[in-house]
């Protein structure tokens, strides 16, 4: 390799080192801010909806068991209990039924 190529590579390497230092500082800043943001979001959701924390934990566990991995719950809302609302939910859920193949029940 020529000396000019080596010098060019050294300059690129130094530039990459500076970029990595900036990114590491940014990651450290975000890592410090994330736990406080997650804690604030969890408490706000519980306070706004009035849903007990035990219920939220149970829903979270059910979602994790269904998906096979942890998932963040973004919104929980109570549904109406009028007969029209119940029938509407039943209709939507029934439309997603599983088809059975004859002989394979």
C-alpha distance from residue 94 to each of 51, 89, 102 (Å): 28, 8, 20
Instruction: Give the C-alpha separation, 101 to 105, whole Å.
Output: 7
Instruction: Give the C-alpha separation, 37 to 43, whole Å.
Output: 10
Residue corresponding to tokens 């998906």: 67
**Average pLDDT, whole number, for the chain?**
78
Alpha helix positions (H), 1-105? 3-49, 53-67, 83-94
Q: What is the pLDDT of residue 19?
A: 93
Longest CA pairwise span in the chain (Å): 82
Question: Over the stretch 16-45, which tens digit does the pLDDT of each residue have?
Answer: 999 999 999 888 888 887 665 555 555 455
How many Cβ atoms sit within 10 Å of the Cβ of residue 104?
5
pTM over 0.85: no
Q: Nearest-CA neighbor of 56 among 40, 80, 68, 74?
A: 74
């Amino acid at each position: 390799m020529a000396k000019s190529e080596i010098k060019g590579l050294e300059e690129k390497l130094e530039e990459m080192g500076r970029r990595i230092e900036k990114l590491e500082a940014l990651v450290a800043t975000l890592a410090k801010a994330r736990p406080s943001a997650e804690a604030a979001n969890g408490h706000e959701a519980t306070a706004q909806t009035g849903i007990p924390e035990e219920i939220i934990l149970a829903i979270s566990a059910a979602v994790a068991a269904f998906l096979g991995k942890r998932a963040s719950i973004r919104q929980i809302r109570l549904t109406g209990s009028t007969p029209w609302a119940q029938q509407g939910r039943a209709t939507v859920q029934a439309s997603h039924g599983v088809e059975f193949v004859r002989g394979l029940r």
